[in-house]
Amino acid sequence: MPRYSQELRNSTIRKMMPPSNRPISELSRETGVPEGTLHSWRKQARSKGYATPGDGREAEIWSSQDKFHIVIEAAGLSEVELADYCRSKGLFVEQVRSWRDACMQANGNLAQETGKIQQELKQEKSRSLQLEKELRRKESALAETAALLVLRKKAHVIWGDGEDA
Helix (H) or strand (E) holding 26: helix 24-31
Does 33 fall in a domain? yes
Residue 17: the pLDDT is 75
Question: Which pTM was predicted?
Answer: 0.43
Of 40, 41, 51, nearest to 7 by C-alpha is 41
Does 148 fall in a domain? no
Does 163 fall in a domain? no
Does 82 fall in a domain? yes
Q: Whole domain around residue 87: which residue ranges?
A: 6-106
Of 34, 52, 35, 31, nearest to 43 by C-alpha is 52
The dihedral sign for the CA sequence 109, 115, 117, 120: negative
The tally of domains found in the chain comes to 1
Does 34 fall in a domain? yes
Does 158 fall in a domain? no
Average pLDDT, the chain: 84
Q: Report pLDDT digits (tens) over 66-111.
A: 888 889 888 889 999 988 888 887 788 888 898 888 888 877 777 7
> What amino acid occupies position 161?
D
Does 30 fall in a domain? yes
Does 55 fall in a domain? yes
